[in-house]
Amino acid sequence: MSRYSIGIDLGGTKVLTAIIDKETGELIHFVKKKTKKDKGVEKIVQKIINSIREVLEESGKTLEEIEEIGIGAAGQIDRKNGILLNAPNLNCENLRIKELIESEYKKDVYVGNDVEIATIGEMYFGSGKGYKDFVCIFVGTGIGSGIVQDGKIRYGYTGTAGEIGHIVVDPGGRPCACGGCGCLEAYASRLAIEKRIIGALKKGRKSDIINYLVEDKPIKTSMIKKSLENKDELVLQIINEASEYLAAGLASVINFYNPSMIILGGGLMDAIDYFYERTIQMAKIKSLPIPAQNIEFKKAKLSDFSGVVGAALLCEYRKNNNT
Ligand SMILES: [Zn+2]
């Protein structure tokens, strides 16, 4: 019998809300809303409330058919009390999201962080199904990871384990948003790649990516992909460089943690096979021989929907694991 819940992936640019069949992981219906302009506590809460109503109306499901609601947000979370402590890219602090949504819909609400829910999604219905020791690494605006140890997510002593984006790959190197220098995400995240391309164009380097750019709009993955297909020298050089740093980060994870598998997610990994293949090939070369020979790599199977599927399974996961 089908059992439904609602999963919400609350990011800096969009909120994705979906009804998921918890037995099969099937995506019944979803709505996507932009969060770019409407930030701050009240607007974000209103957006979540509206998106739940819409996904129910559009899918024809009733609130009674929904067992619970799971929310994952980019930022620091108080998991026990369901409070979004700090989410700079949503302009929110101490948002009592669990309490607010529970009082509106009279359903239990579970709150996690964005990487945690995406990892749970991949663990239940994606590339991690059937595996007990693996790491999910998501290359997006930043770079984050979820560590699965003996079938459970490893949160760390203060709940921030998996911050692979802040592994130092170049001491004293480029400044990072965390306040440090030389962190992996300052070299290999989408944002870092975008900055490198824009910087090189401003210095007068030639590239065919200029033909696809729209003023004041960010560089899209599809533009990078097209430039690579056209063998554009600049984009190829920047992607190769990012891939080299990312491989160094992955090799550190392989040597330190010895996982059976690494799942790689995020738009660039999903869409650009060259980036994915080159990175894993170099990561194996840079790692110690025995863990490198035995490790498996997979792309995240649920792509953009890892987060909503995992958010919908958040309650299930926590109850099964007493966390
Ligand atoms: Zn950092």
Average pLDDT over residues 191-216: 93
Rounded to the nearest angstrom, the distance between the alpha carbon of 154 and the centre of ligand 1 is 20
Rounded to the nearest angstrom, the distance between the alpha carbon of 9 and the centre of ligand 1 is 23
Domains of the chain: 4-121+305-321 (3.30.420.40), 130-300 (3.30.420.40)
* DSSP 8-state secondary structure symbol assigned to residue 157: T
Quickly count: other Cβ atoms within 10 Å of residue 302's Cβ: 20
Which tens digits make up the pLDDT trace of 28-75?
999 999 887 667 788 889 999 999 999 999 999 999 999 999 999 988
Of the candidates 205, 214, 204, which has an alpha carbon nearest to the alpha carbon of residue 236? 205
* DSSP 8-state secondary structure symbol assigned to residue 258: -
Rounded to the nearest angstrom, the distance between the alpha carbon of 178 and the centre of ligand 1 is 4
Whole-Å CA distances, 30 to 33, 112, 115, 309? 10, 19, 19, 11
Which tens digits make up the pLDDT trace of 266-302?
999 999 999 999 999 999 999 999 999 999 999 999 9
Rounded to the nearest angstrom, the distance between the alpha carbon of 183 and the centre of ligand 1 is 5
Q: State the pLDDT at residue 88.
A: 80
Percentage, residues of the chain above pLDDT 90: 86
Rounded to the nearest angstrom, the distance between the alpha carbon of 165 and the centre of ligand 1 is 6
Using the predicted structure, report yes or no on whether residue 216 has a pLDDT greater than 90.
no
Do the Cβ atoms of 162 and 134 come closer than 8 Å? no
Q: State the pLDDT at residue 38.
A: 67
Which tens digits make up the pLDDT trace of 233-266?
999 999 999 999 999 999 999 999 999 999 999 9
Rounded to the nearest angstrom, the distance between the alpha carbon of 31 and the centre of ligand 1 is 32
Strand 143-149 vs strand 76-78: parallel, antiparallel, or unpaired?
Answer: unpaired
Q: Which two tokens stand for residue 173?
A: 């190197």
Rounded to the nearest angstrom, the distance between the alpha carbon of 180 and the centre of ligand 1 is 5
Average pLDDT value for the chain: 94
Rounded to the nearest angstrom, the distance between the alpha carbon of 72 and the centre of ligand 1 is 22
Rounded to the nearest angstrom, the distance between the alpha carbon of 73 and the centre of ligand 1 is 19
Q: Which two tokens stand for residue 147?
A: 């560590």
Rounded to the nearest angstrom, the distance between the alpha carbon of 177 and the centre of ligand 1 is 6
Which tens digits make up the pLDDT trace of 108-165?
999 999 999 999 999 999 999 999 999 999 999 889 999 999 999 999 998 889 999 9
Confidence of residue 12 (pLDDT cuts 50, 70, 90): confident
Listing from the earlier edge strand, what are the strands of the sheet with 143-149? 152-153, 143-149, 134-139, 261-265, 296-299
Rounded to the nearest angstrom, the distance between the alpha carbon of 164 and the centre of ligand 1 is 9
Rounded to the nearest angstrom, the distance between the alpha carbon of 233 and the centre of ligand 1 is 29
* DSSP 8-state secondary structure symbol assigned to residue 263: E
Q: Which two tokens stand for residue 190?
A: 């989408």
Rounded to the nearest angstrom, the distance between the alpha carbon of 187 and the centre of ligand 1 is 10
Rounded to the nearest angstrom, the distance between the alpha carbon of 252 and the centre of ligand 1 is 16
Rounded to the nearest angstrom, the distance between the alpha carbon of 191 and the centre of ligand 1 is 13
Rounded to the nearest angstrom, the distance between the alpha carbon of 140 and the centre of ligand 1 is 14
Which tens digits make up the pLDDT trace of 167-188?
999 999 999 988 999 999 999 9
Residue ranges near ligand 1 (ion) with Cβ within 5 Å = 166, 176, 178, 180, 183
Rounded to the nearest angstrom, the distance between the alpha carbon of 189 and the centre of ligand 1 is 11
At 79, give phi and psi (nearest 5°). Answer: -65, -40
Rounded to the nearest angstrom, the distance between the alpha carbon of 228 and the centre of ligand 1 is 28
* DSSP 8-state secondary structure symbol assigned to residue 110: E
Q: Which two tokens stand for residue 9?
A: 């992936």
